[in-house]
Structure 1
């Protein structure tokens, strides 16, 4: 039986704060490819490896993630590499890398209590940031193709633990975590142990 809940995350000093809606248990991709599921994984590419990034991706990026602080996106550190589509965002004060996002930031005003699943919010409307997809141009068989592209992954180590929070040890013990190969670009399927140069 699956359960859905909203979890809080932040950098170490608390300047960057977000909330993410997650449904557990996830469906491992090596059991059911393409399943609509939370994705919990570690990647062996040089970027993820050097950052120590522990990927936690919600089912619906548009609806399942809100950034509640800072109020201005420019206050976040933003590191981009390779195609420079994805911003690997971090706190400029404490240096903690909280999430990666590829898309467009969009500000919205919502009752965060209602969004987080409480039966009745307190009616307080707050400005938050959400992400939406971008159109990107690619080429296939010599033809230009425009398609939507959207990516968001929070660094699971920045989720709050303890009572009502997440338990990363539990994720490992229950076999929810998997590993992907992006260093060699060999097209290997996800597996339950790290690939070459990957980390547990």
Structure 2
């Protein structure tokens, strides 16, 4: 007989390979998958793990981690001016910033929108190793006017592979094992995009 652990929102640390990019991401685990028919993001914000078969995501091997409200769920500790200090690739001038470390090349997150520097008490937020009562300057998606979705110009996707391994409650292997990964068809090889689904990737997609 197994006992299911109650979902808990907790902070997880992530970084690029050389450590220049460093962040804290809040996830609620165990994860509750959204219905296949629900738009991401839906009318109600929710957490999502996904892969798509578009040529960019396929080549860079991104496991997209989307959070309910990025200004409260993602804090970049370094660098504090990512759009200047990280490298970026844009497929279109008005598209996503596929950001990467200029030193080691790791892609930690993809972003569209405005950011802001704020001070937060990471200890109060239960981030391991941080002193309660101490303010830390971080970069985050700008809270004012943030409405998740590419049509709104507000998008944050963290690469799940850049979250540090070995943190309690986080095991990237269980995402696929538990059918938590939602697969998208953005390559549209047969005309219109096919519906998103759990279980198996679309053509040319990866597990």
Same fold by TM (over 0.5)?
Answer: yes
2:89 aligned residue: 79
When the two chains are superposed, the root-mean-square deviation of aligned CA atoms in Å is 2.4
Structure 1, unpaired ranges of 5+: 136-146
Structure 1 segments, 4+ long, off by >4 Å, are none
CA–CA separation in structure 1 for the residues paired with 2:81 and 2:185? 35
- Once residues 93 and 185 of structure 2 are traced to their aligned partners in structure 1, the CA distance between those partners, rounded to angstroms, is 18
Is the 2:95–2:112 contact (alpha carbons within 8 Å) kept by the matching residues of 1?
A: yes
Match of 1:195 in 2: 202
Aligned residue pairs total 188
**SS of the counterpart of 2:56?**
helix
Give yes or no for contact 2:12–2:167 (8 Å, CA) kept in 1. no
Does the CA contact (< 8 Å) of 1:78 and 1:89 recur in 2? Answer: yes
8 Å CA contact 2:119, 2:135 repeated in 1: yes
Name the residue aligned to 1:26: 32
Unmatched 5+ residue regions in structure 2? 1-5, 146-150
Whole-angstrom CA distance in 1 between matches of 2:143 and 2:193: 25
Q: How far is 1:121 from its partner?
A: 5.1
CA distance in 1, matches of 2:95, 2:143: 11
Q: Give the structure with the larger strand fraction.
A: 1
TM-score (norm 1): 0.84
Superposition deviation, residue 79 in structure 1 = 1.3
Alignment correspondent of 1:183? 187
